[in-house]
């Protein structure tokens, strides 16, 4: 997986997403570390939709501005997984955008931190803000109890309309080296920073069965696709695995937009 030299590549742990979903549903957010480190990189090995070609140059597509007439484009269903809910607090962009990109990620994943800080701002500027792309978030907590608590915290922040501020501040809290520590008090402090006003309700969310089930639903969806590492993405009909450079995402997005003309 491509990775900036400014972000040392830490070891990652892999777990059965089905196990995560089961634990979330049965025990809510009470779970330990599932397996020992195996030394593999985040976002390096998945099944499901064919990944876009790693290492291919985006060529003339990079930064392309002529993306076509939005009103004349068909709508992508992202393999039937796009929710396209106008009230979804975990989505960015026009609900009727031609293309949906789904991100499966873990708030403690250093590679997800790279995407959030280095790549998403450019995607937002070029594709989301211009109406071509909608981004939908899915939780895929792979690194134990703190990852699950952070995921549930994101759902709780979303209930108060502050998910994307929470997303920004939780990832900004990481230095990109290893899995950041996110005990509940730190998660609560980051939620306050993100503008969550009802702190008591937010904290009660850690043990809220409904929020745990939402996280479990996301994780189960990832399991059905075959995603076992983070970050992983579905861009229309294409899978992009890992914190790839912006040109890799441009290539996938532009190619999928071409199919919708």
Instruction: Judge whether 14 lies within some domain.
Output: no
pLDDT band at 16, cuts 50/70/90?
very low
Instruction: Judge whether 28 lies within some domain.
Output: no
pLDDT tens for 83-98 read 999 999 999 999 999 9
pLDDT in the model for residue 77 = 87
pLDDT tens for 199-213 read 999 999 999 999 999
Q: Is the pLDDT of residue 1 over 90?
A: no
Instruction: Judge whether 61 lies within some domain.
Output: no
Q: Say how many C-beta atoms besides its own lie within 10 A of residue 234's C-beta.
A: 26
pLDDT in the model for residue 2 = 37
The tokens for 164 are 């994307």
Instruction: Judge whether 5 lies within some domain.
Output: no
CB proximity list for 77: less than 8 A, separation 6 or greater: 100
pLDDT tens for 27-75 read 333 222 222 222 333 343 233 343 443 333 333 344 455 678 999 999 9
pLDDT in the model for residue 25 = 43
Q: Is the pLDDT of residue 251 over 70?
A: yes
Instruction: Judge whether 46 lies within some domain.
Output: no
CATH of the domain at 250: 3.40.30.10
Instruction: Judge whether 249 lies within some domain.
Output: yes
Instruction: Judge whether 12 lies within some domain.
Output: no
More confident residue, 141 or 59: 141
Provide the residue range defining the domain that includes 195. 78-259
When mean pLDDT is compared across 16-30, 82-96, 108-122, 234-248, the lowest value belongs to 16-30
Q: Mean pLDDT, to the nearest integer, of 232-255?
A: 97
The tokens for 11 are 């070891």
DSSP string, the chain: ----TTS----B----HHHHHHHHHHHTT-----S----BPTT----SSPBP-TT---GGGTT------GGG-----TTTT----TT-TTEES-TT-SEEEEEEE-TT-HHHHHIIIIIHHHHIIIIITTTSEEEEEEE---SSHHHHHHHHHHHHHHHTT-HHHHHHHHHHT--SSS-----HHHHHHHHHHTT---HHHHHHGGG-HHHHHHHHHHHHHHHHHT--SSSEEEETTEEEESS--HHHHHHHHHHHHHHT-
When mean pLDDT is compared across 25-29, 126-130, 155-159, 246-250, the lowest value belongs to 25-29
Q: Mean pLDDT, to the nearest integer, of 215-224?
A: 97
pLDDT in the model for residue 65 = 53
pLDDT in the model for residue 164 = 98
Contact 59, 250 (CB under 8 A): no
Instruction: Judge whether 131 lies within some domain.
Output: yes
pLDDT in the model for residue 64 = 56
pLDDT tens for 106-117 read 999 999 999 999
Taking the C-alpha atoms of residue 78 and residue 40, their distance in angstroms, rounded to an integer, is 27
Q: What is the mean pLDDT of the chain?
A: 82
Number of independent structural domains in the chain = 1
């Amino acid at each position: 997986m491509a990775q900036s030299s400014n972000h040392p590549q830490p070891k990652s742990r892999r777990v059965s997403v089905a196990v995560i979903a089961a634990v979330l549903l049965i025990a809510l957010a009470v779970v330990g570390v599932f397996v020992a480190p195996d030394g593999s990189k985040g976002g390096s090995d998945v099944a499901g939709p064919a990944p876009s070609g790693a290492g291919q140059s985006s060529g003339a597509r990079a930064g392309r501005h002529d993306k076509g007439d939005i009103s004349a484009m068909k709508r992508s269903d992202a393999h039937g997984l796009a929710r396209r809910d106008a009230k979804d607090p975990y989505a960015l962009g026009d609900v009727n955008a031609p293309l949906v990109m789904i991100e499966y990620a873990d708030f403690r994943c250093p590679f997800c931190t790279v995407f959030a800080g280095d790549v998403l701002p450019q995607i937002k500027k070029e594709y989301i803000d211009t109406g071509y792309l909608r981004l939908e978030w899915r939780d895929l907590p792979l690194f134990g109890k703190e990852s699950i608590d952070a995921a549930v915290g994101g759902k709780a922040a979303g209930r108060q309309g502050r998910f994307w501020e929470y997303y920004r501040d939780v990832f900004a809290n990481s230095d990109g080296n290893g899995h950041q520590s996110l005990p509940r008090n730190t998660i609560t402090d980051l939620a306050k920073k993100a503008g969550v006003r009802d702190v008591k309700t937010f904290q009660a969310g850690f043990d809220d069965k409904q929020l745990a089930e939402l996280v479990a639903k996301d994780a189960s969806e990832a399991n059905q696709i075959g995603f076992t590492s983070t970050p992983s993405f579905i861009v229309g009909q294409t899978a992009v695995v890992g914190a790839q450079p912006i040109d890799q995402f441009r290539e996938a997005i532009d190619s999928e937009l071409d199919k919708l003309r």
